[in-house]
Structure 1
């Protein structure tokens, strides 16, 4: 969860503060307890702000603790210049929270402070309610989660393995713009590093991993496009990527793959799927965002979604629209993390639904495609795209659906049955989606995370383009 600072702003007159100090402290205790009960880490200022010097020093102390978001709390009338001085020391997002107790004019204090911040153009959010009101705590939590996701991006490094795939403009972003907007650096690495390191990877490790996959998933060897040797080559590619991530300190990555690797070496499906998974044959691990086709905006979207949810993020092509059912087939080679097969933390449960099929004619070098059908449930679907050079977040709610075996087989056979599929019903009419959506790739996480993503847009100062049937 997020790390939240809390600073109470008070009256600057000693004789007034002396009569309200306990009231302020009691309300702060309630607010902090409610935030901690919701799972957040809370950094408290040592005392209420009652002077200009304390406004600066307490804000600096809270800032030094690396908070994602700071709550300025108004239980009483508060001198507005205290807020201005504190805000000057706080570089992160601000939330002004007013107590609604009618005895003390906390709301008046918040409005006076908020108006002063408006005059200097300092962005902030205003909330109000009892300190332990669940709705208030939820709204603070949404803002804190968004702030944590945005803050986590800054200083990170994206590793782009290869270059632009197959002429895809939407997969390539401007490194200067990334640094300015998101604080992310881009490290360029040649695909030869995957080939070189995969061939040099520990043969015993490759065999152990292959046997683990054979035990838990269903492997369909055909003696041509999928052999033990080719599967071990793909496993070697995964091990090569793990080495590159560790050596170059890469926070998230993308692999070009097509056409060089898929034509002459092997597909990256196994590597991409298991990089995005929260496990491999060595046990649990932190999911690492890796986008196929070196899709930079896709990887960045996925990294934000991972920071928000802590879960693996789905990457897919918008492959086909079944107009008779009003559902979309989201399908892209073997990119889908196997976690989506059952959404279980137990890899055996997910892999029981996974098939490794020989790759199709698009990829003559062969290897396994990591096939499964995504488990059902509510999903948030999103992607960062660019319009006239400016970023926007395209966002919608959806539902993944499952069907009986015969229906599923029929639907998959209409596109590429060997690849993974997610059958999605979107909260957007097809004509609206196809007319406005700015890429062929889309990304998804479980649940409704639209509120957090709206807040992310505000913090990054990028446009929200939300799709809805309403």
Structure 2
């Protein structure tokens, strides 16, 4: 078993230096949201002259609070006090590539300025009113919001003092959701192989994806993985195998289903898929695997685990969301959660319900990102809890199953499913739990012990979940991100289907 962090740092110093100085460096989030702020004023010259200083002071406080929260703020060049400014200021802010535009009402504001600014703003809008009783900013927001309602322009409304952390958090949540949704548009999903084992829930309508989410689907034959794996660098495959042997809790060769040669074949498959991702400019992907690769080549467990991880044997990297069994709606859910939370995303089967404990075993056929073993910024801590075991009888081609138990903590669990052709986001809160070693082992051995597990206590009654949940796969990220998921669904026009006890 390997657990010496200092030795890991000597082997791959970039990983520890990056993770310790900036824990989010390799979690997929390179910064917070870009937020545009445009203050709307009164169109009467003499009134605007008398309130401009108040507007600017209030906007200064708002911008300072958003900046302190880590966001990049793009300010309008001046408060909007006439028709021409409404369009020009909004176009300038939009051109800066903001994720969300905040129309700010510190005073009474002519509503048609909002309409003109909205017309020049292609992205999401948030109307924000102050709560100062001296100036009727709330009146301005309501008049503007009503006008937008009349033409069907979607928007969000918030109100409060910029000094209130809850308000700044709420704005940030909407901006994060807007950025996540925008990141989907114009992206490409790589689908390696077709429908796995008759699994209808793993296949989506590409026209619907393009229309609703702006995503293109690139179909790539699994033969490309096989072909390119044979061409991958054997020296890197050997070095990676030795890295895994040294830094995981154990590589348990059996001379049959798991040998050094099979493990290197899995590693070469990872290198092949990385090459294809780069060549086809894929933003996220899914690999069918079953039954062709799992029967005649090797499982994709190493490939999928380390694609989703924020590191590999070469050092830190951005996670590339990859779904097992080429599950399209699963991959889409994961990509959205990844863009919201900035972390790797768990992919799992809903394997078993332990009624005596009211917990679910979320277990997958050999692949969870190794990051979930400890959820540490130090890869050594995660890998020290990971075992590579020989694949079970389902997969005669063999290879390594990536075995670990997910670390405990609060989780947001979600899945995009379809009801009569329409998308819905099935969403709930939960807790991953760990127990004493003997209990953990006993629970894992009730299903497929060699596979990775997460013991989840869901904020959902078992009978409700089993009656309503629309897929066999579920996905999770650490923390409570339900507010951002709700906001993203509103922007996408996707119905929410939330579970609660």
Question: Structure 2 length normalisation: TM-score?
Answer: 0.93
1:335 Cα offset (Å): 1.9
**Does 2:181 align with 1:161?**
no
Q: What is the aligned partner in structure 1 of residue 219 from structure 2?
A: 188
1:334 Cα offset (Å): 2.1
Contact 1:357 / 1:369 at 8 angstroms: preserved in 2?
yes
**Does 2:177 align with 1:141?**
no
Match of 1:246 among 278, 281, 296: 278
**Does 2:413 align with 1:407?**
no
Deviations 1:82-113 (A, max 9, x none): 00000001111111101111111111111110
CA–CA separation in structure 2 for the residues paired with 1:102 and 1:348: 56
CA–CA separation in structure 2 for the residues paired with 1:281 and 1:345: 15
Q: What is the aligned partner in structure 2 of residue 213 from structure 1?
A: 244
Deviations 1:335-394 (A, max 9, x none): 210000000122111110000000000000000000000000000000000000000000
Q: What is the aligned partner in structure 2 of residue 294 from structure 1?
A: 326
Q: What is the aligned partner in structure 2 of residue 64 from structure 1?
A: 95
Deviations 1:28-64 (A, max 9, x none): 0000000011111100001000100100010000110
CA–CA separation in structure 2 for the residues paired with 1:345 and 1:161: 30
Q: What is the aligned partner in structure 2 of residue 45 from structure 1?
A: 76
Deviations 1:111-131 (A, max 9, x none): 110111011011111111112
1:134 Cα offset (Å): 1.1
Q: What is the aligned partner in structure 1 of residue 486 from structure 2?
A: 454
Runs (5+) with no aligned partner, structure 2: 1-31
Match of 2:420 among 369, 372, 388: 388
**Does 2:248 align with 1:237?**
no
CA–CA separation in structure 1 for the residues paired with 2:34 and 2:196: 39
Q: What is the aligned partner in structure 1 of residue 388 from structure 2?
A: 356
Q: What is the aligned partner in structure 2 of residue 270 from structure 1?
A: 302
Q: What is the aligned partner in structure 2 of residue 128 from structure 1?
A: 159
1:133 Cα offset (Å): 1.7
**Does 2:401 align with 1:372?**
no
Deviations 1:278-330 (A, max 9, x none): 00000000000000000000000000000001100000000000000000000
1:248 Cα offset (Å): 0.3
Contact 1:333 / 1:370 at 8 angstroms: preserved in 2?
no
CA–CA separation in structure 2 for the residues paired with 1:70 and 1:121: 17
Q: What is the aligned partner in structure 2 of residue 99 from structure 1?
A: 130
Q: What is the aligned partner in structure 2 of residue 330 from structure 1?
A: 362
CA–CA separation in structure 1 for the residues paired with 2:224 and 2:373: 31
Q: What is the aligned partner in structure 1 of residue 456 from structure 2?
A: 424
Q: What is the aligned partner in structure 2 of residue 279 from structure 1?
A: 311
Secondary structure of the equivalent of 1:96? strand
Contact 1:96 / 1:124 at 8 angstroms: preserved in 2?
yes
1:132 Cα offset (Å): 2.6
**Does 2:58 align with 1:27?**
yes
1:267 Cα offset (Å): 0.3
Secondary structure of the equivalent of 1:27? helix
Q: What is the aligned partner in structure 1 of residue 8 from structure 2?
A: none
Match of 2:207 among 173, 176, 194: 176
Q: What is the aligned partner in structure 2 of residue 321 from structure 1?
A: 353
Q: What is the aligned partner in structure 1 of residue 38 from structure 2?
A: 7
1:136 Cα offset (Å): 1.0
Secondary structure of the equivalent of 1:139? helix
CA–CA separation in structure 1 for the residues paired with 2:366 and 2:481: 25
CA–CA separation in structure 2 for the residues paired with 1:359 and 1:467: 35
CA–CA separation in structure 2 for the residues paired with 1:26 and 1:371: 56
Contact 1:269 / 1:370 at 8 angstroms: preserved in 2?
yes
Contact 1:278 / 1:345 at 8 angstroms: preserved in 2?
no
CA–CA separation in structure 2 for the residues paired with 1:225 and 1:135: 54
CA–CA separation in structure 2 for the residues paired with 1:253 and 1:426: 28
Match of 2:378 among 346, 349, 363: 346
CA–CA separation in structure 2 for the residues paired with 1:325 and 1:112: 53
CA–CA separation in structure 2 for the residues paired with 1:377 and 1:317: 19
CA–CA separation in structure 2 for the residues paired with 1:66 and 1:436: 39
CA–CA separation in structure 2 for the residues paired with 1:158 and 1:395: 23
CA–CA separation in structure 2 for the residues paired with 1:311 and 1:390: 28
Q: What is the aligned partner in structure 2 of residue 222 from structure 1?
A: 254
| C-alpha RMSD of matched pairs (Å) | 0.5
CA–CA separation in structure 2 for the residues paired with 1:81 and 1:133: 29
**Does 2:182 align with 1:151?**
yes
Segments ≥4 residues shifted beyond 3 Å: none
